[in-house]
Amino acid sequence: MIQIISGVKGKGKTKFLIQKANEAVKSAEGSVVYLDKNNKHMYELSNRIRLINVGDYPIDTYDAFLGFICGLISQDNDLQDMFLDSFLTIGSVSEEYVGYIMSKLTDISERFGVNFTVSISMDADSIPDDFKKDIVISL
């Protein structure tokens, strides 16, 4: 399952994403991971959530990002939820490839049973039509 939090920069997407992550970990039977571009939100997240600073790794293409995601899943069979903050930045994704990457994440989610919640700095109208149904909030 994929859920999308959309909106232009500075509208509170990260705050909402952190809230969802903290709620998810309360009832999680598996692992919860939060990917971000830095460690800035470390103390806002539950200590049961693994924060990964993607900026620490040499990820400069969306293919490398998808490989990174698959690597995380392969090393943790109990991975249940993954929260992706600043999706365009951490995933090295340009707006024209959002649909392609989201379809890849959907395939990964279905194949490995991992739920993705993605914060994306795009207006809801700019999200590809195939994924508009996955938008949980647009700020």
Residue 125 to residues 7, 31, 121, 129, 131: CA-CA distances in angstroms? Answer: 10, 33, 12, 8, 11
pLDDT of residue 99: 92
CATH fold of 2-138, please? Rossmann fold (3.40.50)
> Is the separation of the CB atoms in 69 and 82 below 8 Å?
yes
| pTM over the 0.95 mark | no
List beta partners, residue 3: 117
Q: Where are the domains of the chain?
A: 2-138
pLDDT of residue 139: 85
> Is the separation of the CB atoms in 25 and 46 below 8 Å?
yes
> Is the separation of the CB atoms in 25 and 48 below 8 Å?
yes
Residue type, 69: I
Quote the CA–CA distance of 74 and 136 in Å, as a whole number: 28
Q: What is the mean pLDDT of each run of 10 residues along the chain (139 residues)?
A: 91 92 94 94 92 94 96 94 95 91 96 96 91 91
